[in-house]
Amino acid sequence: MSKDYTFNPGDFVVYPAHGLGQITDIEQTEVAGQKLELIAVNFNKDKLTLRIPMPNAKKTGLRQIVNSATMDEAVRTLKGKAKIKRVQWGKRSQEYMAKINSGDVVSVAEVLRDLYKDPEKAEQTYSERQIYEQAMNRLVAEYAIVKNVNEADAISKLESVLHTKNAALA
């Protein structure tokens, strides 16, 4: 197993389908006569514990949280100009969900950037809002850990970046 995929109890990790979790244990178990090493990941918000076989961790997309430089790149992405494709909403929403579930922090930031609308000037549709909130929750959770701030401060910072960028484009 490469250095990128060394996991220890207490580590924060990102699982693409569920977002940020924390490793609670590395367990040894026997299944069908074979010994397996399982990574137990707890997702507090979802009240869920997932057990992932160590050899499958990389295939499932489980990763350690990003470093500060990568998070800064995600924040710079938020400052960019929205790139909204001229396709039907159904197709765009599928692309947004694929980006969110990719587990890539910069892709999640792209979704936020593209779906952000200044609340004083425009309204989001219900489905836009749902996807926007899911992307925000994913980015906020990881941002808070990487930058060592609480989630409320992380939300303020990210929304401030989005609002300031939008004001500069007006």
**Over the stretch 80-139, which tens digit does the pLDDT of each residue have?**
988 888 889 999 999 999 999 998 999 999 999 999 987 777 788 899 999 999 999 999
> Where do we find the tokens 């100009």?
81
Q: What is the pLDDT of residues 21-57, one digit of tens each?
A: 999 999 998 888 889 999 999 998 888 999 999 988 8
Q: Who contacts 167 (Cβ-Cβ below 8 Å, separation ≥6)?
A: 118
- For 162, the 3-state DSSP assignment is helix
**Rounded-to-integer distance, Cα 133 and Cα 48, Å:** 20
Residue 62's region, left for phi above 0, alpha for psi from -120 to 50, else beta, is beta
Q: pLDDT at position 4, please?
A: 52
Tell me the domains of the chain and their CATH numbers.
3-64 (2.40.10.170), 68-169 (1.20.58.1290)
Residue 6 has pLDDT above 90, yes or no: no
pTM score, whole prediction: 0.85
**Rounded-to-integer distance, Cα 53 and Cα 161, Å:** 38
Q: pLDDT at position 117, please?
A: 84
Residue 145 has pLDDT above 70, yes or no: yes
Pick the closest to residue 169 from 100, 69, 71, 83 (CA basis): 83
Report the b/e string of 9-43 with b at 16+ CB within 10 A: eeebbbbeebbbbebeeeeeeeeeeeeeebbbbeb
